[in-house]
A and B are shown apart, each in its own frame.
Chain A
Amino acid sequence: MKLNLKVWRQENKDAKGKFENYIVDDIHGDMSFLEMMDVLNNQLVQEGIEPVEFDHDCREGICGMCSMQINGEPHGPDRRITTCQLHMRKFKDGDTITIEPFRANAFPVVKDLAVDRSAFDRIQHAGGYISVNTSGNTQDANSIPIEKENADMAFNAATCIGCGACVAACKNASAMLFTSAKVSQYALLPQGKVEATERVLNMVAQMDKEGFGNCTNTGACEIECPKGISLENIARLNREYLAASLKG
């Protein structure tokens, strides 16, 4: 199939960007969206034009590196996938596809479609861990039985790949789903309870400092999340936060 691409080009963080139009041909339905971008880029290189910069790495939907707002949605129109898992069979011959970077002040553009998501890292530095040293004589793993239901919920929260689709989809550019997933994982495990109060206060403080918007419960994040992280996590974050605030 033949496609018209409307791609955001921006030299660097401070430059002003704009849309450019490109045409790619001979695209097959079995190709992934990023393979289509590879075709475009090789075409551009041969024409002597600088290719479109975009983040990608594992190309199997787990590293969370690929981003892109495709036709107005993070990771494109399909559900429960990342851009690298989006296949061209979702598009038709002659379609125009609008491709933009994830937009949020907390995610400044690095170049073209690549954005800087280090704000997520900083939120995790603020408390996304359990303080345990590597000593080799930690207690036996089975000495802490964990209810399967909680273990499974903790796991589901922990599957967040930190791609930023929640922020990109949210009309407020809020990072609540991401932050709540991290807080939830630890809140649901006995190992994480010890530092729970400080963790949630610090992570929320950092989240606010990064300039993300507020949660208005539109639920867009949950729908667009490639891993289906549930809004229940946001409710849990709110609970944890309230409890922690009252405790001081």
Chain B
Amino acid sequence: MGGIKTSIARKVAMALSGLFLVLFLLQHFTINFTSVVSPDTFNEISHFMGTNFVVQAILQPILIFGVIFHFVMGFILEAQNRSARSVKYGMFSGNANSSWLSRNMLISGAVVLAFLGLHFYDFWVHEMQVKYLEGDMSGLSPSGEFRYYEETVAKFAGQPIRVGLYVLAFVFLMMHLLHGFASSFQTMGVNNKYSPAIKKFTKAFAIVIPLGFAFIAIFHFINN
């Protein structure tokens, strides 16, 4: 990240990585949602994603890099921003001129980061274990069926604490997206007659996608 030296370049990198993660969210949500509609479809796509070379060897590292980059750059920028005012105000009326969400991307981002830890532990670590350490690329459970749907449901069914944590994290994700998605357009230099429409779209996205994720978790919790 040493190559990106100026404030604007860093901001643009931040926006680009954010937009990339937004795309990923959409993709992730679409696949997950199939688990509600059709377990078979979910299983097939999961197996494809989990075993396809391009996805696993190229897209997955890019995604992981994107996540790490977004977080590290976020922390660097935040640290710079904090050190730009070393003597703090005695009274600072931030709410008078800006939204809490926009001023606290670090908090919402940190919660989402913590969630990612849990999420990786829940799914990704297990996948890596089965596929690459144990070498079982079949995607089948001992019963001979695809294991993905079952495993996913098992994480939520009868797991109120996990479901609660997931839902909470999705609320923070929503907060993060509510400012971040629209903000990335501004950073990329887009502020014109289409901006009100872009804002509406990003707002809708920021609400619908996390709600959808929460719905999936709750659905599996209740349904089973």
Contacts and interface: CB of A to CB of B under 8 A. Distances in A.
B10 A217 contact: no
A205 B93 contact: no
Interface in B1-33: 6-12
Interface string B73-117: 000010011111111111111101111001101000000000000
Contact of A103 (B7, B81, B88, B186): B88
Interface stretch (B36-44, B54-62, B138-146, B188-196): B188-196
Contacts of A223: 96-98
A19 B90 contact: yes
Contact of A73 (B9, B80, B86, B93): B93
A113 interface: no
- Size category of the B interface is 35 or more
A219 to B, nearest CB: 6
Contact of A71 (B91, B94, B186): B91
B179 interface: yes
Contacts of B103: 171, 216, 218
Interface residues of A, number: 49
A100 interface: yes
A213 B8 contact: no
B148 to A, nearest CB: 39
Given A169-B97, A174-B84, A211-B84, A217 B102 contact: yes
A242 B189 contact: yes
Contacts of A98: 90-91
A104 B85 contact: yes
A238 B189 contact: yes
Contacts of B187: 215, 217, 238
Contact of B7 (A72, A214, A217, A235): A214
Contact of A105 (B83, B105, B188): B83
Contacts of A208: 6-7
Interface in B169-224: 179, 183, 186-192
A120 to B, nearest CB: 15
B81 A232 contact: no
Interface of A: 6, 8, 17, 19, 69, 71-73, 77, 98, 100, 103-106, 169, 171-174, 176, 204-205, 207-208, 211-220, 223-224, 231-232, 234-242, 245
